[in-house]
Chains A and B, each alone.
Chain A
């Protein structure tokens, strides 16, 4: 009988607390991930406003994709070139309604950008030359965004940005 009780104690003692501990660890991990990613998000906005392509290159994964406001898809090199050339310059950028969902190796951030862009000249970025940026001038509007982070090489990197204008003038 003592043998049975010992086995039961071992089974409940090893499995259940391990499961509970695991759950606590995961919660702590996701909270830490959210904190890290929100810090990166602040750096991201600052870098966009400053056209700091070096900082952006550090935040974006090599496989980074940008789904732009006209439906174009730019890869990391194309998006960096667009910003580096000064063809597009962020003059104002504010965010609100930010929501974060964290998983083991992935974090999703959504929110709303109110921005003003200065468009220096027309562009033809992305497949087929699709571009929202055909008219030089000022473009203000409100857009929804999704930023997706993956933990790559031990740090959080942005793998996707999708931006959709909901109002513009």
Chain B
């Protein structure tokens, strides 16, 4: 390889690096309405993945530090939630979300609230809800990931 070609490759690599950074900056500056649509799309993707027990998709949607307090008194980690999805411990048969509302902060944090009337079996016990849930999404490494989720089973009241 001659010096000219090598120099060209170095410059191309540098340009590519800058472009990736610029792309990330662009993603982080998206307007709130676009972010809200994206979060609702991701929330829907998560619902479908939970229905299918699709751990691969959930692995992508959930942040490594996910914290998941549930209405059984447990705070589950991502590893535990993925294990549940794979083993169908948490088995969903119907998934419906209503009254979804998204609030965006700093362009990199989104809070979703809503109701779910999900038919599910958890450790063999069936329940339908309705449940109040909140979910928090953060833009990490250029993509939105769920960092927290909590729900309250309103049928217990």
Q: Give me 27 A-to-B residue pairs in the complex whose CB atoms sit less than 8 angstroms apart, sorted by A's number.
A: A4-B3, A63-B103, A67-B152, A70-B157, A99-B67, A103-B65, A103-B147, A105-B138, A108-B65, A108-B67, A108-B148, A110-B148, A112-B73, A142-B73, A144-B69, A144-B150, A146-B136, A146-B150, A148-B109, A148-B111, A151-B106, A160-B111, A160-B136, A162-B69, A164-B71, A165-B152, A167-B73
What string of 1s and 0s marks CB contacts (under 8 Å) between B102-143 and chain A? 010110110101010000000000000011101010101000
Query: B106 — which chain A residues lie within 8 A by C-beta?
Result: 105, 150-152
Are A108 and B147 interface neighbours, CB within 8 A?
Answer: yes
Majority secondary structure, B binding face: strand
A61 to B105, CA, bound (A): 10
Complex CA gap A101/B67 in Å reads 8
A20: Cβ under 8 A from any B Cβ: no
- Measured CB to CB, the residues of B under 8 A from A are 3, 6-7, 10, 13-14, 17, 63, 65-67, 69-73, 75, 103, 105-106, 108-109, 111, 113, 115, 130-132, 134, 136, 138, 140, 147-148, 150-154, 157
Given contacts A7-B7, A73-B113, contact A159 B105 (CB under 8 A): yes
Tell me the nearest residue of chain B to A130, going by C-beta: B154
With A4-B3, A65-B103, A101-B65 given, is the CB distance from A146 to B71 under 8 Å? no
CA distance A112 to B70 in the complex (A): 12
Contact flag A146-B111 (CB < 8 Å), given A3-B3, A151-B106 = no
Q: Known: A160-B111, A164-B151. Is A144-B73 also a contact (CB below 8 A)?
A: yes
Given contacts A99-B67, A160-B111, A164-B152, 5 further A-B contacts (CB under 8 A): A1-B3, A4-B7, A146-B148, A148-B111, A148-B136
**A104 touching B69 by the CB < 8 A rule?**
no
Which residues on A sit within 8 Å (CB–CB) of B103?
Answer: 63, 65, 159
Size range of the interface on A?
35 or more
Give, as a whole number of angstroms, the nearest-CB distance from A153 to chain B.
Answer: 10
Known: A4-B6, A97-B75, A150-B105. A71 touches B131 (CB 8 A): yes
